[in-house]
Amino acid sequence: MKAAQFAAFGAPTEVIQVVDKDPGPLAPGEALIEVLATPINPSDTATLTGIYGILPKLPAVPGNEGVGRVVRVEGTAPVKPGDIVFLPMGSGTWRTHLKAKAQRLLPVPPGADLLQMAMLSINPPTAELMLHEFVQPKSGEWVIQNAANSAVGRYLISLAKLEGIKTINVVRRAGLADELKALGADVVLEDGDDLDQRVREATGGAPVKLGIDAVGGSGTLRLADAISEGGTVVNYGIMSGKAPLISPAALIFRNVTLRGFWLALWMRTAPREAQAALMAKLAKQVAEGTLRAAVDATFPLENVREALARSLEGGRDGKVLLTPVKA
Ligand SMILES: NC(=O)c1ccc[n+]([C@@H]2O[C@H](COP(=O)([O-])OP(=O)(O)OC[C@H]3O[C@@H](n4cnc5c(N)ncnc54)[C@H](OP(=O)(O)O)[C@@H]3O)[C@@H](O)[C@H]2O)c1
C-alpha cells in the first residue's frame, strides 16, 4: 500500500514522495477503502507549499476529497465490501488505501461518473453557498465572478443558470467564452483595467450586487470597482498569491463590503441536517450531469510529481486527478 507524503513544506513537486504505508489493523466499526479517484485542488498545492491558512503536522499525506471502494469492514457496519463511497473530507486521500469509521461513509449514487463524484465535496458546496449566503440574488439579477473557468467558477455558472441568475464571468485569457456560454454563462469578459466600464456596457447599467473573487490582489480591486453601490465582494481564494485589494472609491464612496468565505468554517457551524441536505442536492445534480467540472488529466499515484506539475500549470483544460487504484 502506497501513499504520497511530504515531510517539509516547499515546491510541491520537490517535497512530495511516494512511500510504503501500512494502514494497520482495522478497529471495530472501521472500513478499509481503496482510493479510486482524488483531485489535486489549489488548497492541496498551497498546503504543500506551506502557504495555506491551516497547515498539518508533518509528515502528512495531502488530499481532502475523493471516492473509493470498500475492501473490508470490521464488525457490523452500514457498508460492505464492494460499495463505492465518498472519502471522508480531509482524510489525506492521496494514497492507495485508507481506513475510516464506517458510520461516516456515504454511498456514491450507483452508475455515477467517479471522477465527477470525486470532486463533489469541496467545490460544488463552495459555489452554492457563495451564491446564497451573503446576498440573495433573485432570478434575472446579475452576479460577477473572476477565475470563472475554474472548477468553482463553472459550478457557479451552472447553479446560477438553474435559478435564472445572470452571470458576468471574468477570465484572465482569451478563448474561453464559447465553452463558458455553453455552460450557461451570460457574459464572459477578459480581466483588465476598464473592467467596470465593460461590465456596465454588458448589463446596460443594471445592478450587480454580488462579486465572487478567487484571484485576490488587483483582481479583487477590479471586481469591487465593477459592482454596484452597497454591493458585496466575497473573496474565497488568492490564485494571484496576493492579498485582496479594494479601492477607496469602492469602499468609502460606494459602500462596497469585502467578505471572506471558507467552506471548512461553514461546515464547523452549519447544522448537520443543512450540510446533509446540501450534499444530497449537489450529489443528485452531479449524478444527473447538471453540474460538472472539466477534467484535464488523470495520473496514477506513482506519477504524483507529474500530476502536481500539471496541476500547477496555467491554462489547463480542467482538473487534475490521481487514480491510485483502478476502478
Ligand atoms: N474558500 C473556500 O472554502 C474554497 C473552497 C474551494 C476552493 N477554493 C479556492 O477557489 C479557487 C479555485 O479553486 P478551483 O479548484 O476551482 O480551481 P481550478 O479549477 O484548479 O482552477 C484554477 C483557476 O485559477 C486561475 N488562475 C490561476 N492563477 C491565476 C492568477 N495568477 N490570476 C488569475 N487567475 C488565476 C486559472 O486560470 P487559467 O485557466 O487561465 O490558468 C483557473 O481558472 C482556489 O483559490 C481555491 O483555493 C476556496
pLDDT value of position 104: 87
Range list of β-strands (E), 93-141 = 97-101
State what percent of residues in the chain have pLDDT above 70. 100
Residue 39 alpha carbon, nearest atom of ligand 1: 15
User: Residues 155, 52, 102, CA angle at the centre, nearest 5°?
Assistant: 65
User: With a 6 A CB cut-off, is 173 part of the ligand 1 pocket?
Assistant: yes
The whole-chain average pLDDT of the chain stands at 97
Residue 152 alpha carbon, nearest atom of ligand 1: 16
pLDDT value of position 168: 98
pLDDT value of position 225: 98
Render pLDDT for 61-115 as a digit per residue (tens, 0 to 9): 999 999 999 999 999 889 999 999 999 999 999 999 999 999 989 999 999 999 9
Active-site position among 9, 21, 29, 52: 52
Render pLDDT for 255-275 as a digit per residue (tens, 0 to 9): 999 999 999 999 999 998 999
Q: Is 80 exposed, middle or buried (0-12, 13-18, 19+ CB in 10 A)?
A: exposed
Mutate to test the pocket of ligand 1, among 172, 262, 308 (most ligand atoms within 8 A of CB): 172
Residue 239 Cα to ligand 1 middle (Å): 5
Determine the average pLDDT of the residues in 128-132: 98
For residues 314 and 288, the answer to whether their CB atoms sit within 8 Å is no
Give the Å distances, CA to CA, from 67 to 7, 174, 310.
25, 34, 21
DSSP per-residue codes, 157-224: HHHHHHTT-EEEEEESSSS-HHHHHHHT-SEEEE--TTHHHHHHHHHTT--EEEEEESSBHHHHHHHH
- Residue among 303, 321, 256, 269 at smallest CA distance from 44: 321
Render pLDDT for 196-238 as a digit per residue (tens, 0 to 9): 999 999 999 999 999 999 999 999 999 999 999 999 999 999 9
- Residue among 201, 52, 63 at smallest CA distance from 122: 63
CATH assignment, 123-264:
3.40.50.720
* The pTM of the whole model exceeds 0.95: yes
Determine the average pLDDT of the residues in 54-58: 96
Residue 213 Cα to ligand 1 middle (Å): 10
- Residue among 270, 274, 291 at smallest CA distance from 282: 291
Mutate to test the pocket of ligand 1, among 38, 40, 41 (most ligand atoms within 8 A of CB): 41
For residues 232 and 209, the answer to whether their CB atoms sit within 8 Å is yes
For residues 230 and 135, the answer to whether their CB atoms sit within 8 Å is no
User: With a 6 A CB cut-off, is 42 part of the ligand 1 pocket?
Assistant: yes
pLDDT band of residue 327 (cuts 50, 70, 90) is confident
Q: Write out the CATH class of domain 2-119+293-322.
A: alpha beta
Q: Is 178 exposed, middle or buried (0-12, 13-18, 19+ CB in 10 A)?
A: exposed
Quick check: is 52 catalytic?
yes
Spell out the domain ranges in the chain: 2-119+293-322, 123-264
| Chain position carrying cell 477534467 | 295
For residues 133 and 267, the answer to whether their CB atoms sit within 8 Å is no
- Residue 304: pLDDT over 90: yes
Q: How far apart are CA 144 and CA 228, in angstroms?
A: 11
User: With a 6 A CB cut-off, is 144 part of the ligand 1 pocket?
Assistant: no
